[in-house]
Amino acid sequence: MNICVVGSGYVGLVTGAVFADLGNDVVCVDNDRAKIDCLRAGQMPIYEPGLEEMVTRNVGDGRLAFGTDLAAAVRQSDVIFIAVGTPSKDSGETDLSQVEAVAAGIGRAMDRYKVVVNKSTVPVGTGELVREVIARQQPRPVEFDVVSNPEFLREGSAIEDTLRPDRIVIGAPTQQVAMTLVELYAPLERPMIITDLPSAEVIKYASNAFLAAKISFINAIANICEAAGADVSQVMKGMGLDPRIGAQFLQAGLGYGGSCFPKDVDSLIHTAARLGYDFKLLRSVVEINRARAAHLVEMMRKALGPLDDKTVAVLGLAFKPNTDDMREARSLEVIRLLHGAGAAIRAYDPVANGNARRLLPDTVVFGESAYEAARGADAIALVTEWNEFRFLNLERLRGLMRRPVIFDGRNLYEPERMRRLGFEYYSIGRKPVLPA
């Protein structure tokens, strides 16, 4: 199949690479010339395990190309995927300007029947909007169909998720149109849900909002555990073994961040309000999540006293492990609060140091390793649970610090082990290990 993917970010680039790997001819388009130049030079604009190897192989085999010319790409394609950004406005409403701009461009270039597939996360009703924009922009009427095919990949395991998705959701106007996508995805041999377009759009938001609610739920339980002297890890295990509940997304910590959950939850609240329903449950999910960073910093203030004469080493900056993505990262909020309290901040992330430098105050001093960041610190705040931090030489770390105190925002370590190693250790929803 001849495929065009518009938007070569996390979703577009990975989708394009995988479709090419399945034997299709794919052109990935982006209006960011620097990004396309970078890709043409064989460099990946994002960090994603396995991506570079897959892109290089498919470019080499002539199945994958990159360009900035949307019109040319549309003309040579049978199926066009829209995978541009859908950020939220201050009101929580989804900003659809990128999707609309691409739809207009597709409409202007459309010379024969095409299937236009919306892969961006968009509020229910957007498929209809895309249809209207394309029809309005066509120089002469040409038949086309719009399909919703929401994406569920996770950054950090995007290739694996795209090759082996839990489900493929196809929201199409007719069975016949749906078959185009069924054929495309058939080699993956994964479960497919074929439905109408609005339902597909709702499935994506409902899924992300549900996962966000699970995270806020366990964080609220963690607050209760802290007040009552219970252990949220044990509570989570006891809950998670119930197959109706499941253990995933039940890790208490600093809450969710990233480019999807915060904006998708806000968007669903906004859509619900527009449709006349006050989604109070989700508003609480957001509120609980918002309080998590302040909760950790308050823990630090209680244990350390005033922070204005303290140096804190922040370990982990990316919004989650295995990505360099800093969008809505919890570290930004933790650092903002620490900075506001006058603390000196040292920081380290295995891959996001570069992106973080651009977003954080000049006063943050970056280390090239966890050890370097921890040198002379009064405390460590562990914010992102990179695997690398699991295997740190904690004795060495302790020896480098002015005071061996760890505030573990992700419950990465076992309290008993930290006691044995001589740390003062505070984590989420578990009893602290106080100084001997």
Q: Which residues bind ligand NAD (CB under 6 A)?
A: 6-12, 29-32, 35, 83-86, 98, 101-102, 120-121, 151, 153, 155, 259-260
CB of 41 to ligand NAD, least distance (A): 16
Instruction: Compare residues 270 and 430 and give the one whose CB is closer to ligand NAD.
Output: 270
**Which is closer to ligand NAD, CB of 9 or CB of 107?**
9
Query: Shortest Cβ distance from residue 333 to ligand NAD (Å)?
Result: 20
User: Which CB, 103 or 299, lies closer to ligand NAD?
Assistant: 103
Q: Locate all alpha helices (DSSP H) within 145-291, ordered by sequence.
A: 158-163, 175-185, 197-228, 232-240, 261-274, 280-290
From the candidates 4, 28, 225, 260, which is the catalytic residue?
Answer: 260
Q: How far is the CB of 328 from ligand NAD (least distance, A)?
A: 11
| Edge-to-edge strand ranges of the sheet holding 424-427 | 365-366, 344-348, 311-315, 379-382, 405-408, 424-427
Q: With respect to ligand NAD, which residue has the nearer C-beta, 117 or 374?
A: 117
* Closest CB to ligand NAD among residues 10, 66: 10
Amino acid at 435: P
Does the annotation mark 260 as catalytic? yes
Q: How far apart are CA 421 and CA 198, in angstroms?
A: 55
Which residue's C-beta sits nearest to ligand NAD?
Answer: 9
Nearer to ligand NAD, 12 or 257 (CB): 12
- Nearer residue to ligand NAD within complex by CB, 71 or 224: 71
Instruction: Give the burial class of 14: count Cβ atoms within 10 A of its Cβ; 0-12 exposed, 13-18 middle, 19 or more buried.
Output: buried
Query: Dihedral angle at the C-alpha atoms of 121, 328, 70, 143, nearest 10 degrees?
Result: 10
What is the closest distance, in whole angstroms, from the C-beta atom of residue 87 to ligand NAD in the complex? 8
Both structure tokens of 215? 């995270």
Contact predicate 95/123, CB 8 Å: no
229: left (phi over 0), alpha (psi -120 to 50) or beta: left
Q: Which residues contact 276 (CB under 8 A, 6 or more apart)?
A: none
Shortest distance in whole angstroms from residue 433 CB to ligand NAD? 35
For residue 160, the minimal CB distance to ligand NAD (Å) is: 13
Contact 119, 83 (CB under 8 A): yes
Element (H, E) at 384: none
- Degrees (nearest 5) of the Cα angle 415, 155, 315? 35
Q: Write out the DSSP string of 80-96.
A: EEE----PBPTTS-B--
Nearest approach in angstroms of CB 116 to ligand NAD is 14
In angstroms, what is the minimal distance from the CB of 152 to ligand NAD? 6
DSSP secondary structure letter of residue 31: S
Angstrom distance (rounded) from CA 351 to CA 151: 24
CB 82 within 8 A of CB 117: yes
Q: Is the Cβ of residue 58 or residue 120 nearer to ligand NAD in the bound state?
A: 120
Rounded CA gap, 110 and 108, in Å? 6
Q: How many CB atoms lie within 10 A of CB 22?
A: 18
Residue type at position 209: A
Pairing relationship of beta strands 365-366 and 311-315 according to DSSP bridges: unpaired
What phi and psi, each to the nearest 5 degrees, are found at residue 151? -105, 140
Q: CB-wise, 34 or 436, nearer to ligand NAD?
A: 34
Q: Do the strands 25-29 and 2-6 form a parallel or antiparallel pair, or are they unpaired?
A: parallel
Residue 239: count other Cβ atoms within 10 Å of its Cβ.
17
d(CA 52, CA 45): 10
**Smallest distance, ligand NAD to C-beta of residue 338, A:** 27
Q: Which residues are catalytic?
A: 260
